[in-house]
Amino acid sequence: SQTIHQWPATLVQPVGSPLSLECTVEGTSNPNLYWYRQAAGRGLQLLFYSVGIGQISSEVPQNLSASRPQDRQFILSSKKLLLSDSGFYLCAWSVGDEQYFGPGTRLTVT
């Protein structure tokens, strides 16, 4: 069966510091991978998606970036965090229309 992991689970970072969130998927090959952000108040905002190694599509211009160095690894990064980057970050995978989400990372920028 497939599983998806995210770490860290929680993170508190000062403004201006760098960020690296990691997501890995097990039990499937060549999945589509996604990064979402969920601010307080619920909506899911798609940030990036990838249909293959090295292929990244950005949905929202911002100070975040994503990379996919391996088939089942997806990384979300920032060089300098802003207060507005706080939120709940979710990674998801799909093979087809159904997307399956990871447990999320709660990021607080102080």
Partner 1 sequence: GQQLNQSPQSMFIQEGEDVSMNCTSSSIFNTWLWYKQDPGEGPVLLIALYKAGELTSNGRLTAQFGITRKDSFLNISASIPSDVGIYFCAGSRGSNYKLTFGKGTLLTVNP
Region binding partner 1 by CB under 8 A among candidate stretches 13-21, 67-75, 76-84, 100-108: 100-108
64-70: strand order across its sheet: 3-7, 19-26, 73-78, 64-70
Residue 51 interacts with partner 1 (CB under 8 A)?
yes
Q: Give the integer Cα–Cα distance in Å for 67 and 80.
A: 17
Both tokens of 108, joined, read 């607080």
Residue the block writes with tokens 């995210």: 6
Among 1, 14, 29, 42, interactor with partner 1 by CB under 8 A: 42
Residue 101 interacts with partner 1 (CB under 8 A)?
yes
Residue 94 interacts with partner 1 (CB under 8 A)?
yes
Task: Confirm if 47 and 60 have CB atoms less than 8 A apart.
Answer: yes
Site for partner 1, rule CB under 8 A: 32, 42-44, 46, 49, 51, 90, 92, 94, 97-104, 106
